Amino acid sequence: MKVWLIAVMLSVLPLVSYAGEASLRLNNGEYEIPAIVNLPDSEQAVPAVVLLHGTASHKNEVGNLYARLAAALAKVGIGSIRIDFAGTGDSEVSYRHYTLESAVRDATMGLNYMQAQPQINAEKLGVVGFSQGGLIAQLLIAQSPVFDSFVAWSSVASDGVSAFRPMFDSMYQKAKQQGYVTQEYTWRAPLDISLEWFEQVKANKSLTNMATYNGALLAIAGSADKVVPAENALRLIEATSAYPAQAVIIKDASHIFNVLNEQAAEDEQLLQLTVQWFAQTLQ
């Protein structure tokens, strides 16, 4: 395993023409999942990546990180799908529908959609998970061992409640009393978190189940992340059989890689690292 602390990047990749993006809705039998698919303009089947957003976010992610990533991937010949989990973004159902199991189910719907497209090479698949989306990606990999490459952004890397201890300490008992608890956020409207989410987190064995993953793994974290400490990137890699495997700690980057700071460049470093990784491991 290699561990890098970086401030600058990268090499130049050849570009292809970009066919654009299309919005769609996938039906999981209970509700519709808003999704956006990006494809390069190619006569041959191309690799594809599933993008899984973090807590209380949406398919384009904070600072449009996923929208920007999808466009950048398409320009190097890689397709992608990004979805809104239940109760986020353009989803029309309550966030009470969101659990670890529902998120994995919805991510699987996105994966299955891409695998069925003639433009996609179903033998070359990747996944990106951001924060709690990284946890969902780990669960998806364990359930659907078809992925050749995984990039984790500020990802949770633990079994059970440890990564969510403050939430459990302050909210779990109330969720047990009324079946859900309301979480306030500074950047969006409140969300109702179900008791099922808490119970599934308690039983979660995502990190343990990553032991058999032997595809490529890039774990990227910020040295200034106060939400999910950077050592989670190392812990994730050490828990797997991944090859190649690298942990990259971006100097002075926050949990969201300083994307809302117009003077900062860490978000661009994040995107360049990710695009180059997939170009090398999926092409």
DSSP the chain: -EEEEESS---------EEEEEEEEEE-SSSEEEEEEEEE--SS-EEEEEEE--TT--TT-GGGHHHHHHHHHHHTT-EEEEEPPTTSTT--S-GGG--HHHHHHHHHHHHHHHHT-TTEEEEEEEEEEETHHHHHHHHHHHHSTT-SEEEEES----STTGGGHHHHHHHHHHHHHHSEEEEP-SSS--EEEEHHHHHHHHH--HHHHGGG--SEEEEEEETT-SSS-THHHHHHHHTS--SSEEEEEETT--TTTTTT-TT--HHHHHHHHHHHHHHHHH-
- Convert the pLDDT of each residue in 57-105 to its tens digit: 999 999 999 999 999 999 999 999 999 999 999 999 999 999 999 999 9
pLDDT above 50: residue 187: yes
**Which tokens belong to 98?**
């969101």
Q: Which fold has domain 2-161+205-282?
A: Rossmann fold (3.40.50)
Confidence tier at 5 by pLDDT (50, 70, 90): low
Predicted pLDDT of residue 281:
98
pTM of the model: 0.94
Tell me the C-alpha distance between 35 and 83, whole Å.
Answer: 4
Predicted pLDDT of residue 6:
45
- CB neighbours of 52 closer than 8 A, spacing ≥ 6? 82, 83, 85, 103, 107, 127, 128, 129, 130, 133, 134, 136, 137, 140
Which element (helix H / strand E) includes 219? strand 216-222
- Convert the pLDDT of each residue in 211-256 to its tens digit: 999 999 999 999 999 999 999 999 999 999 999 999 999 999 999 9
**Which tokens belong to 117?**
């497209």
Higher per-residue confidence, 12 vs 39: 39
CA 91 from chain center: how many Å?
17
From residue 224, give the alpha-carbon distance in Å to each of 39, 154, 252, 253. Answer: 34, 11, 5, 5
Predicted pLDDT of residue 283:
83
Predicted pLDDT of residue 159:
98
Confidence tier at 3 by pLDDT (50, 70, 90): low
Predicted pLDDT of residue 16:
61
Average pLDDT of span 270-276: 99
CA 160 from chain center: how many Å?
19
Predicted pLDDT of residue 20:
81
pLDDT above 70: residue 13: no
pLDDT above 90: residue 191: yes
Tell me the C-alpha distance between 22 and 127, whole Å.
Answer: 19
Predicted pLDDT of residue 11:
47
Predicted pLDDT of residue 7:
41
Share of the chain above pLDDT 90, in %: 92
Predicted pLDDT of residue 224:
98
Predicted pLDDT of residue 9:
41
